A = this chain, B = another copy of it.
Amino acid sequence: MKMSEGVEWALHSCVNLAWSGPDRAVSAARLAAWHDLPAAYLNKQLQALARAGILTSSPGPRGGFRLARPLGAVSLMDVVAAVEGPEEAFRCAEIRRQGPGAGAPAAEGADAADCAIAHAMSRAEVAWRRALAAQNLDEIRQQAERQAPEAPQRLRAWLAAQ
């Protein structure tokens, strides 16, 4: 099981948009160039973030993407759900209702939530989602700045020179 690389791209792009400042919209092409990413595919992730209300998108030659709300109001879960979709990783196909193992029709009133396996897998996934929801991107930005204090200014200088 592998999460899309678009999640990493989207998370870095949100931090980069915080660093670029609220006064400037940044195009997908420039956000992509900053980390040498394919612009068309990054644009797809940025559009997903805009649909999720994490970014705003403006058209035109000076258009681009901005943060729609402060990074402190964006959790890892928000970004993962925007890029990967809201479905759980484990999807019960109800195989226990197939074949001779399906048992008596009387049991058919039960739904997937009653399957002990689906229930246990879902409970574990909730722990993951809670942990993703508990971390906001401003905490991540602060940690990134402690490691690379010059990064915000370097990005703004590069954008100004484009």
Contact = CB atoms under 8 A, between A and B. Distances in A.
A53 B129 CA distance: 30
A140 interface: yes
Top-5 shortest CB links A-B: A128-B128, A36-B99, A124-B131, A127-B131, A116-B143
A101 to B, nearest CB: 4
A148 to B, nearest CB: 6
Interface residues of A, number: 67
A5 interface: yes
A10 to B, nearest CB: 10
A157 to B, nearest CB: 10
A160 interface: no
A68 interface: no
Interface in A1-21: 1-5, 7-9, 11-12, 15-16
A57 B104 CA distance: 31
Interface in A28-42: 33-37
A130 to B, nearest CB: 7
A118 B143 CA distance: 12
